[in-house]
Structure 1
Amino acid sequence: MGITSIPRVLVLGASGLIGRFVTDDLRRRGFHAVGVARRLCNSQHISPLDLEVPILSLDASALAGLLSAHSIGVIVNCLGVLQDGPGRDTGAVHRDFVTRLLEAIARSERDVRLIHISIPGRAEDDRTAFSSTKREAECLIAASGVAHAILRPGFVIAPAAYGGSAMVRALAALPFDLPGKERAMPCQPVAIEDVAATIAWLAARPLGEDATRAVTWDLMEPQPVALARVIDAFRLALGTTRGPRLAVPGFLLDLGATFGDLVSYLGWTPPLRSTALAELRRGVTGDPQAWMAATGTVPRTLHGTVGAHGATIQDKWFARLYLIKALIIASLVLFWVASGVIALVISFPATVGILTSRGWPDVIATPFAAITSLMDISIGLLIAVRCTAAFGLAAGVVVSLGYMIGCAIFTPDLWREPLGALVKTGPAIVLMLVALSTLDNR
């Protein structure tokens, strides 16, 4: 059948791993693609068509207005959230939003195709709120009568990395390995280029075409491989195939997932959380034959996607620093909070004594010691919370420089202290600068 005129495309979740790539790919192919996200980082504001919209808070009327305002003919829904937490609700994002989106399509009275990014696997194997709400959204779309394509990508391999794909790169770069059971889990990768090409192919099909009016496809390589082979492919690309590796015990994975759940309440999005671990342990599998037959796609192989060329230096730096970033943040939180608590609670008389011995009147030394101790604790707490971490790190740098300069002026003898406490402040400042430089997730 012939191809219709190129429609305008609305990509929801244009700041994410799939959404960003798809938005840019559609534009390269000549589509008028409007990328919408709740928040875009500065580097993602590359076109006037990249819009920051509180999309999840819009009702059906507002969504219908958005479709009409941009004359949208195709919607690509890449919105998703891994796990419930502060400001994150799997049901609201996956199910409730899709309900409003379908209502908006009906209200807009436009001929619209909905391309929805979901997850592979069988419904009977769903064990998490993430997977069950994703499946509920699929059912809503299938029953709506809207022209739709539900795409279920396997383990997505892309030039960018986020969440699980970032964790795989980190494991490939560092001398650690997953436990044997997790290493053997079946996994069917898919190149992000194949996902984007499929979306572009669907977007250009006639809306009334029976073969693409209502489809559900698994997008992935035909044959599953062990997750260990995916990690090994990245090791080959990173040049880290040699050397001994330490297998992480299974209980440490569970402990890490529990810790990840806890820090997620502080606004962080660690890749290792209970939902991610549960989804990993059920495998990433499906049957891509229907997709391959309908589109003529021959999926890129794992080797062709990852191992065809060596990693760039930025790839290596990212992979090596990804897990160390969490260690840096945690150590700085502990450093500031512990130093403040020790000075305020355990060694407060000694802290005041250092000042009074250098001529400070007690009426000034005591409140000064208390204020600086509380300031240290506050900096540590600010760094611990994701939305205030940048401010906390910047404040830590300024305060540390203030300590160094102040001591040089008022108590220069402390620079000759045998344990070199002030000298060690310099490396702490550098570490905070490193943390500031690696805060971005996208």
Structure 2
Amino acid sequence: MPAQNILLFGASGLIGRYVTDALRARGFNAIGIARQFLPAQKVSALDLELPVMAMDAAALAQLLRTHAVDMVVNCLGVLQDGPGSDTQAVHRDFVARLLDAIRASGRAIRLVHVSIPGTADQDRTAFSTTKREAERLIAASGIAYAILRPGFVIAPAAYGGSAMLRALAALPVDLPPSEAATPFQPAAAEDISATIAWLAGRDVADESVHAVTWDLMQPQPVTLGGVIGQFRWSFGTAKDFRITPPVFLIDLGAKLGDLASRLGWMPPLRTTAIAELRRGVAGDPAAWMAATGIVPKTMAQAVGARPATIQDKWFARLFLIKALIIASLVLFWVASGFIALVVSYDAAAGILTAHHFPPALVGPITVLTSLMDMSIGVLIAFRRTAAVGLIAGILAALGYMIGSAILTPDLWIEPLGALVKTGPAIVLMLVALLMLDNR
């Protein structure tokens, strides 16, 4: 019988969130599972927060029985290994436990697994090799399955690579010709959800879709430059002047992105992202189109169906600038503290002495404020503590301004205007605080 209850893992992600909401809109009882939902994402009592990666096969089987699940959709995925991200654990090991759970549940369940286009001989990164290992486990499992390999996903929301391409379209930056010519066939999020809904309408015993692997994307060839060009048309930036950075700067940016990921950030520009981008996105959607009757939306239809709003434009323009803002604030606080403590200690202490601070307090105050500044910079550098660091930075800057107004008001009119510039620094920290969300 057709699926009534659908359990979806990764329901807080770009694809998972869209598919969960779309299935519910079609009348399916879609249970969204994620490690954590943002308050804005948790729109239903069927959105459940569970420690999925810590659940063994028995716990997963019990989850399937409890919700009388007929179909499981797996949208879990991480781009690169790092703090809190393990490609092997997420892509392969979880799938292995999920297959055991489906077999142990005692229910007839179809697994729909969202993977990536391409073939094993093209896989060069841990991301792609572990995705392919999961496909092989599923194909050998004997259960009913559908492996979906969407192209570059276009959805109303943007995250990771899709956000980066929007940023490139909005900013005066162009890709080198070698990158721009990479094949990059897109897939509309609506077509992914329509495919999963179509599978949910098929009996699990239907032999025609018992074990299928489909590429989901528009059949017309498109390049990466063409995808960005379509977004430029949407943003109204198609005729803007652009500069093309050399390839080595892109590689350097990816290395810096790897470093940022070690601090808990999830930048779209990392070595894995660049490697996968250069490999390209290509496939043959003929089998999928013939089986389902779905005519995939083209890039122009997917992007042009909804004109870019001011929210879209602001996000695209600020997306890559966010990293620059965070990096500059880290450097500002660490450097200011280091300079006062090491390079210009006598000058920093001399300011307090000149304003009649008790000599016994000059040294301790200079050292403590310098260490505080550097600590604020370190807090901002780590994603987990960035919000605390930014709030501390705002409070510290306000404290400096108020203290100076009371104790050393003449510093407000000193030639370089150091205290006057503190106001814009506070505003920049407030902007960074408001931009911390990734989803």
**TM score, norm. by length of structure 2:** 0.99
2:182 to 175, 181, 185: 185
Instruction: Tell me if 1:329 matches 2:321.
Output: no
* Paired amino acid for 1:345: V
Using the aligned pairs only, state the percent identity. 67
Tell me if structure 2 keeps the 8 A contact 1:119–1:131. yes
2:71 to 56, 67, 74: 74
Do residues 15 (structure 1) and 12 (structure 2) align? Answer: yes
Query: In the alignment, does 2:185 pair up with 1:194?
Result: no
2:293 is aligned with 1:266 = no
- Which structure 2 residues correspond to residues 209-228 of structure 1 after superposition, within 5 A? 209-228=206-225
TM-fit CA distance, 1:308: 3.8
Match of 1:307 in 2: 304
- Match among 252, 257, 263 for residue 249 of structure 2: 252
CA distance in 1, matches of 2:3, 2:136: 28
Q: 1:307 to 1:392 in 2, by over 3 A?
A: same
Which AA in structure 2 matches 1:219?
A: L
Partner residue of 1:97 out of 74, 94, 97? 94
What is the aligned counterpart of 2:37 among 37, 40, 51? 40
Counterparts of 1:48 and 1:345 in 2: how far apart (Å)?
56
Letter in 2 for 1:209: D
Equivalent of 2:369, from 369, 372, 375? 372
Letter in 1 for 2:46: L
Q: Which residue of 2 is the match for residue 241 of structure 1?
A: 238
In the TM superposition, 1:65-214 aligns within 5 A as: 65-214=62-211
Distance across 1 between alignment mates of 2:3 and 2:282? 33
Q: In structure 2, give the amino acid aligned to 1:20.
A: R
Q: Does 1:340 align with 2:320?
A: no
The one-letter code matched in structure 1 to 2:419 is: L
Whichever residue aligns with residue 398 of structure 1, its letter is L
Q: How does 1:340-419 map to 2 (within 5 A)?
A: 340-419=337-416
- Cα offsets for 1:172-191 (capped at 9, x unmatched): 00110111000000111110
RMSD after superposition: 0.9
Shift of 1:309: 4.3
Q: Is the Cα contact below 8 Å between 1:239 and 1:310 reproduced in 2?
A: no
**1:265-314, CA deviations, whole angstroms, 9 ceiling, x for partnerless residues?**
00111111111111111110001000000000100011111134431000
Deviations 1:49-102 (CA, angstroms, capped at 9, x unpaired): 111111011111111111111111111100001111122111111000100111
2:431 alignment counterpart: 434
Is contact 2:3–2:203 with CA below 8 Å preserved after alignment? no
Q: Which residue of 2 aligns with 1:425?
A: 422
- Residue 327 of structure 2 aligns to which amino acid in structure 1? A
**What is the distance in 2 between the residues matched to 1:187 and 1:357?**
64
Q: Any idea what SS the aligned residue of 2:190 has?
A: helix
Distance across 2 between alignment mates of 1:37 and 1:406:
47
**1:360 is aligned with what amino acid?**
F
What SS does the aligned partner of 2:391 have? helix
- Residues paired across the two proteins, number: 439
Q: Distance in 2 between matches of 1:283 and 1:347?
A: 51
Q: Cα offset for 1:415? A: 1.1
Q: Report the 3-state secondary structure (helix = DSSP H, G, I; strand = E; otherwise coil) of the residue aligned with 2:40.
A: helix
Matched to 2:10, the amino acid is G
Any conservation in 2 of the 1:82–1:275 contact (CA below 8 Å)? yes
* Counterpart AA for 1:299: P
Q: Deviation of residue 167 (structure 1)?
A: 0.7
Q: What is the DSSP-based 3-state SS (H/G/I as helix, E as strand, rest coil) of the residue aligned with 1:110?
A: coil
8 Å Cα contact 1:141/1:148 also seen in 2: yes
SS at match of 2:203: coil
